[in-house]
Copies of this chain bind each other. A is one copy, B any other.
Amino acid sequence: MTASTATSHQDRLHEAVARRRPGHSLEGPFYTDREFYDLDIAAVFGRLWLFVATEAEVPEPGDWTTVEIGPYPVVVLRDDAGGLRAFHNVCRHRGARLLGPGRGSVANLVCGYHKWTYGTDGALRHAPAQPPDFDPSCYGLKPVHVRGVGGLVFVCLADAPPADFDEVAARVEPYLLPHALREAKVAARVDLVEEGNWKLVMENNRECYHCDGHPELLRTFFPTYGYTEANLPPHLRAAHDRYLRADAEARATYERLGLPYALIEELDDRVTGFRIQRDALDLAGESFTPDGTAACRRPLGGLPTPRLGHLALHLQPNSWCHVVGDHAITFAVLPLAPGRTLLRTTWLVDPDAVEGEDYDPDTLLEVWTATNGQDARLVARAQHGVSSPAYVPGPYAPTEYQVEAFCAWYTARLREELGR
């Protein structure tokens, strides 16, 4: 690319970002064009801390799980010393992908092509038939920054990860620790490919303006989420009154148990945008089930009551999670193409919970499987419509303030990247 073409290309991206009208959805090309997708990979997925797995997926030395971050295949594993590691899942010989999709356990990472063999620390332990001057220390796996926060695993592809993550981790971890997610076990992990841009998947998650489309979820999730007294729609009045009563009770419980519950909402004023809140659930108030009672007999973290509502964590750029008394559900959003996105959902339960005895997986997975499917259909409709040249950005309602925060945060990341 010549300097002049590159400049004009940058100009075009700059102008599109500059045209963004606060309070309104993004222009169509942000969701449909390859050049914006490539910019997203560079500015967002190549720079920031990303939620990609749970520690429960890699409990023992040698356990691994793989993830595709846009064009980057990455492996997360537990090393022989018990530490978390992440590497580019690419052999240093001729570039073959090392470990396949899914999860597994290995003593060493052996490339299936020519048997180059790496330790769980990434060091090249053996490469067959090399000349005497071959130096294995030059060919260790390329590391990826990784860290666990309260049992959630984050990676960062950049050389220099964002500086504010330490602070965010320190503020979030106390909310998570009582639930002992690090010691949990994986009840299920489901990958869903959605036919829409990754930002549409995120935006969909950031509001409950569309929650009428989630009848299963709305059994226990208060549909008043995101509304205030000022803009509460009349049909939600009864639910809101019920919410206020449940909320008062929940707060008393949190105080009694010493569980942090204050809302922190810093979605668009820092690089590692986040929001955390502990909140009541409807009906029995224990879990995301049709009647709100726990789906698993064994509580997470041994907490003394199942009636804990839910802990909700929203993280920019690519995740959210819910922790209830008996299980946790994590969601990782991973871009596949401008109009295709992987949503990986993982259900965690107490490590001693036995499938079929302590929990019925159908009941455990029911609500969020239905909800994810409904959201995937909504995202596909959004992708279809914003692909029309006739689409123009429309205004967000007040209850969509977190979508606005996501878009403001996102365009700030693009501005940073384009200004580099």
Chain A residues with a Cβ under 8 A of chain B: 1-2, 4-5, 7-8, 11-12, 25, 28, 71-73, 88-98, 100, 112-115, 127-131, 134, 139, 142, 157, 203, 209-210, 212-213, 227, 231-233, 378, 381-382, 384-399
A386 to B71, CA, bound (A): 10
Is A112 within 8 A of B227, CB to CB? no
Cβ contact of A96, chosen from B72, B94, B382, B393, cutoff 8 A? B382
Is B385 within 8 A of A89, CB to CB? yes
Give 26 pairs: A residue, B residue, CB < 8 Å, sorted on A: A2-B8, A4-B4, A5-B5, A25-B93, A25-B95, A71-B387, A72-B388, A73-B388, A88-B388, A89-B385, A90-B390, A93-B395, A94-B203, A94-B396, A95-B388, A98-B385, A112-B213, A113-B381, A114-B209, A114-B210, A114-B397, A127-B397, A129-B227, A129-B231, A131-B397, A131-B398
A378 to B97, CA, bound (A): 9
Is B96 within 8 A of A385, CB to CB? yes
Is B8 within 8 A of A91, CB to CB? no
Cβ contact of A391, chosen from B7, B90, B232, B391, cutoff 8 A? B90
Is B386 within 8 A of A128, CB to CB? no
* A25 proximity list for chain B (CB < 8 A): 93-95
A187 to B267, CA, bound (A): 55
Is B8 within 8 A of A128, CB to CB? no
* A96 proximity list for chain B (CB < 8 A): 378, 381-382, 384-385
Is B129 within 8 A of A394, CB to CB? no
Is A389 within 8 A of B72, CB to CB? yes
A270 to B93, CA, bound (A): 27
A157 to B93, CA, bound (A): 35
Q: Nearest chain B CB to A25's CB is how many angstroms away? A: 5
Q: Nearest chain B CB to A408's CB is how many angstroms away? A: 15
A392 to B386, CA, bound (A): 37
Cβ contact of A90, chosen from B5, B209, B385, cutoff 8 A? B385
* A72 proximity list for chain B (CB < 8 A): 388-390
Is B233 within 8 A of A94, CB to CB? no
Q: Nearest chain B CB to A178's CB is how many angstroms away? A: 35
Q: Nearest chain B CB to A353's CB is how many angstroms away? A: 36
4 more CB-based (< 8 A) A-B contacts, given A94-B386, A129-B209, A131-B397: A2-B7, A112-B381, A113-B381, A129-B399
